[in-house]
Amino acid sequence: MTKSLHVEITGRVQGVGYRAWTEEEARRLGLSGWVRNCRSGAVEAVFTGDDAAVDAMLEAAAKGPPCSSVKDVVVVGEVEAYEGDFEVWPTE
């Protein structure tokens, strides 16, 4: 089964390599989607893949890379499946 979730990650998640880490982790899990910084200081992403891989990414996102301090990972909602590789997008 495949799912695609739009998420928002808050905390100290900008300027700490969070996007690059997310890209590496998502690709390792075989996910499609994207990640970008938001002007609000949050990071947003779409994770598309099989249920177990998306759930694993949500767990990983809550921990983040070593220099980050994640406050919360909020699932904004389900979205249309993203096709293609996992990408880092420019700031919104």
- Asked if pLDDT for residue 60 goes beyond 90, the answer is yes
Give 38-50 pLDDT, tens digit per residue. Answer: 999 999 999 999 9
Question: Would you call 37 a catalytic residue per the annotation?
Answer: yes
Confidence of residue 86 (pLDDT cuts 50, 70, 90): very high
Looking at 28, 36, 37, 39, which residue is catalytic?
A: 37
Pairing of strands 2-12, 86-88: unpaired
> Quick one: pLDDT at residue 1?
82
Annotated active-site residue in 19, 27, 28, 39: 19
50's enclosing H/E stretch is: strand 43-50
CATH number of the CATH domain containing 68 = 3.30.70.100
Backbone angles phi, psi at 63, to 5 degrees: -95, -45
Report if residue 84 sits inside a domain.
Answer: no
**Reading across the β-sheet that carries 32-37, which strands appear in turn?**
69-78, 2-12, 43-50, 32-37, 86-88
Task: Report if pTM > 0.85.
Answer: yes
Residue 26 is assigned to a structural domain of this protein: yes
Q: In which domain, by residue range, is 38 found?
A: 2-79
- Mean model confidence pLDDT for the chain: 97
Confirm whether 12 is a catalytic residue: no
